[in-house]
Amino acid sequence: MTARRSLRFRLLLLAAGSITIALLMAGVFILSSFSASIEAERRDDLQGRLDRLTAAIDPAAVELAGPEPLADPRYDTPLSGLYWQINDLDTGKVVRSRSLWDQELPVAVSGPGHASAELGEVDGPDHSRLIVLSRQFVIESAGTTRHFNVAIAEARGRDNDPIHRFGTNLVIALCVLGAVLIVAATIQVHFGLKPLGILRRQIGDVRQGAMQRLPPATADELEPVVGQINELLEAQEATIAFARERAADLAHGLKTPLAVLSASSERLRLGGDRANADVLQMLAEQMNARIDYQLRIARLRFRTRAQGTSSLLNDTVLRSVAVLRKGPAGERLNWGVDLQETLRADIDEHDLMELAGIVLENASKWASSRVLVSGQREGDQIELCVEDDGIGISDEHMSRLGVRGSRLDERMPGEGIGLAIAFEIVRLNRGVIDIDRSYLGGARVRVVLPAA
C-alpha cells in the first residue's frame, strides 16, 4: 500500500498541516501584538525624553547651549546607544550629547510649521541602527522668534532588541508545541484506527477458518460494516449449502433409476441377452461415475484470493501413504517419501486430502515396484512430486490427462474421473498441476500450490 493511499498517512498529514497553519497564525498574531506593544512603549519613552529635553532649552540665551545632563548617565557615555541633539535652525548651531562624541545625527529638518514629533530610523555612530524621534518647534520670547529641531535617539541592536529575543523564544516555543501536538495527533490516530486493525485481524480469522462470523464491532461506526460482512458470509454459505443440497437430491433421485437399470441388465443376462445386458450395465456404471464426480466436486471448497487457509502437507501425504500401503496394490510397492519440514499450503485440509489421495492412488495403480514422493518449498509456493516406475505416458495420451471420463488403459479399474477431480482441486486453489515422464520410467505428477 502506498503512503498516499494510507488512511493513517492522510490523517497524520492533515493533522500536521492543520497544526502548522494554526501555529503560524498564532505566532504571527502574538509577535505582531508584542511588537506593537513594544513600539508603543518605545515611542512613549522617547516622547517623554523628548519633552524633557525640549523643556530644558533656555529661549532667552543668546547662544544655544546644551541643557543640564539628563537623568540617564548613558547620554554622557560615548557611543552608549542613547543620544540627543538640538539644532538651532536660525543660526545653524548644533549641540549634542557627549555620547555622540564628534558625530551628528542625520536628522531631516521639516518645513516651517511642522510641529508634530516624527519617528524614524537612521544610521548612527559605529554603524548602528537608531530609532529617532524628532520634533521642530518655535519659541517666541522678548519679541523674537527662534526655531529649533530637537531629536532623541536610541540604538536598536539585534542582540538586545526585545522584539528579536521574544521572536526567537516564540519560534522555539511554537516548534516544541508543534512537536508535542504532532505526537499527540499520532497517538490519537493510532488509537482512533485501532478498531480497524482489530476488524482486519478478525476478517483474517474468518479467512483462515478460525471463526465463521465476525463478532460485534468495537466501535459504533464499524457496526454497519460488520453487519454487512456477516450478511455476505451468511448469503455465501447459504448459496453453497443450497447447491450441495440440490446436487445431493439429484444424485439421490438418480440412484433408484440406476439401480433399476442394473437389475434389468442382470435379468437380461440371466435370460441370455448378454449384448443388451452389457449395454445397460455400461450405461449404469458411466452414470454412477458421473454422479460420483459431481458429488465430489460439490464438496470442494471454492475460495477467492481473499480467503486463506492452512493445511500441513507432511501429515496429509504420510497418512495417505500409510493407507495405500495396506491396500492390495500398495503392499507390493517400495514407497520413498522425502518431505521438507513444515510444508504448509494455502488449501483446505479436506481438499488437500482428496488431492493427495488421488495422485498417490494413481501412482500406486500404475507403478511396477516403486513410488517416490517428494515435497519442498520454493519461495511462496509448495511443490509436491509423485513419480512411479510404470509403463509411462505416450505423447498421444499426454493431452488427454485430466479430461473427465478419459481412461488411458481400459484394463485398469475406475472410470477416469480421479485426475479430473485433481485438476479441478488445483484450479480452485490457484495452483498448477503438470504430468510428464519420470526418470524412473513412469509418470511424474508435479503439483504446485500457494504457500500458507
pLDDT tens for 40-54 read 888 888 888 888 888
- In this predicted structure, which of 281-290, 296-305, 326-335 has the lowest mean pLDDT? 296-305
Query: Does 333 share its domain with 440?
Result: yes
- Is 214 strand, coil or helix? coil
Task: Pick the closest to residue 367 from 392, 343, 385 (CA basis).
Answer: 392
Distance CA 251, CA 331 (A): 34
Quick check: is 178 in a domain? Answer: no
Please give the order of strands across the beta sheet that includes 334-339.
334-339, 370-378, 381-388, 443-450, 432-437
More confident residue, 400 or 200: 200
Mention every residue, 6+ apart, whose C-beta is less than 8 A from residue 416: 289, 403, 404, 405, 406, 407
Q: Are the C-beta atoms of residues 338 and 373 closer than 8 Å to each other?
A: yes
Q: What is the pLDDT of residue 412?
A: 44
The model's confidence at residue 110, banded by pLDDT at 50, 70 and 90, is: low
Residue 14 grid cell: 492533515
The model's confidence at residue 147, banded by pLDDT at 50, 70 and 90, is: confident
Average pLDDT over residues 268-279: 80
- Final residue belonging to a domain, choices 140, 156, 172: 156
Query: Does 232 share its domain with 320?
Result: no
Quick check: is 408 in a domain? Answer: yes
More confident residue, 142 or 452: 452
Q: Are the C-beta atoms of residues 449 and 347 closer than 8 Å to each other?
A: yes
Burial class (CB in 10 A: 0-12, 13-18, 19+), 82: buried
Mention every residue, 6+ apart, whose C-beta is less than 8 A from residue 437: 392, 393, 443, 444
Query: Does 437 share its domain with 319?
Result: yes
If you average pLDDT over each of 73-82, 134-143, 171-180, 278-287, which comes out highest?
Answer: 171-180
Query: Does 235 share its domain with 283?
Result: yes
Residue 8 grid cell: 493513517
pLDDT at 346 over 60: yes
CATH of the domain at 91: 3.30.450
Average pLDDT over residues 340-351: 84
Q: What is the pLDDT of residue 180?
A: 94
Q: Are the C-beta atoms of residues 362 and 356 closer than 8 Å to each other?
A: no
Distance CA 94, CA 84 (A): 11
DSSP 295-326: HHHHHS----TT----EEHHHHHHHHHHHHHT
If you average pLDDT over each of 169-173, 188-192, 293-297, 397-401, which comes out highest?
Answer: 169-173
- Final residue belonging to a domain, choices 246, 279, 299: 299
Q: Are the C-beta atoms of residues 426 and 355 closer than 8 Å to each other?
A: yes
Quick check: is 22 in a domain? Answer: no
Residue 6 grid cell: 494510507
Angle between helices 162-192 and 194-208 (to 10 degrees): 30
Query: Does 316 share its domain with 446?
Result: yes
Residue 373 grid cell: 514422493
Quick check: is 106 in a domain? Answer: yes
CATH of the domain at 241: 1.10.287
Rounded to 10 degrees, the C-alpha dihedral 58/59/60/61 comes to 60
Q: What is the pLDDT of residue 385?
A: 92
Q: Are the C-beta atoms of residues 312 and 350 closer than 8 Å to each other?
A: no
Query: Does 123 share its domain with 69?
Result: yes
pLDDT at 160 over 60: yes
Provide φ and ψ at 124, rounded to 5°: -105, -165
Quick check: is 266 in a domain? Answer: yes
Average pLDDT over residues 106-132: 71
Query: Does 322 share its domain with 443?
Result: yes
Distance CA 95, CA 61 (A): 14
Query: Does 320 share its domain with 440?
Result: yes
Mention every residue, 6+ apart, whose C-beta is less than 8 A from residue 144: none
The model's confidence at residue 307, banded by pLDDT at 50, 70 and 90, is: low
Q: What is the pLDDT of residue 296?
A: 64
Q: Which is it for strands 82-88 and 94-96: parallel, antiparallel or unpaired?
A: antiparallel
Q: Is the dihedral of CA 225, 227, 233, 239 positive or negative?
A: negative
Q: What is the pLDDT of residue 364?
A: 87
Query: Does 63 share its domain with 146?
Result: yes
Quick check: is 171 in a domain? Answer: no
Query: Does 280 share its domain with 245?
Result: yes
Q: What is the pLDDT of residue 405?
A: 45
Q: Which helix (H) or strand (E) holds 421?
A: helix 418-428
Residue 293 grid cell: 464426480
Quick check: is 279 in a domain? Answer: yes
Please write the tens of the pLDDT for every residue from 351-406.
888 888 888 888 888 888 888 999 998 888 889 999 888 877 665 555 555 444 44
Q: What is the pLDDT of residue 409?
A: 46
Provide φ and ψ at 308, rounded to 5°: -110, 155
Residue 28 grid cell: 504571527
Range of the domain at 255: 220-299
Quick check: is 165 in a domain? Answer: no
Q: Which is it for strands 334-339 and 370-378: parallel, antiparallel or unpaired?
A: parallel
CATH of the domain at 416: 3.30.565.10
Query: Does 283 share its domain with 401?
Result: no
Q: Are the C-beta atoms of residues 395 and 358 closer than 8 Å to each other?
A: no
Amino acid present at 214: L
Mention every residue, 6+ apart, whose C-beta is less than 8 A from residue 341: 314
Residue 181 grid cell: 501536538
More confident residue, 308 or 287: 287
Q: What is the pLDDT of residue 2?
A: 56
Residue 95 grid cell: 549641540
* Number of structural domains found in the chain: 3
Amino acid present at 360: L
The model's confidence at residue 285, banded by pLDDT at 50, 70 and 90, is: confident
- Final residue belonging to a domain, choices 253, 268, 299: 299
Q: What is the pLDDT of residue 121?
A: 80
Distance CA 433, CA 346 (A): 15
Query: Does 329 share its domain with 278?
Result: no
The model's confidence at residue 100, banded by pLDDT at 50, 70 and 90, is: confident
Please give the order of strands across the beta sheet that includes 144-155.
94-96, 82-88, 144-155, 129-141, 118-123
Residue 360 grid cell: 498417490
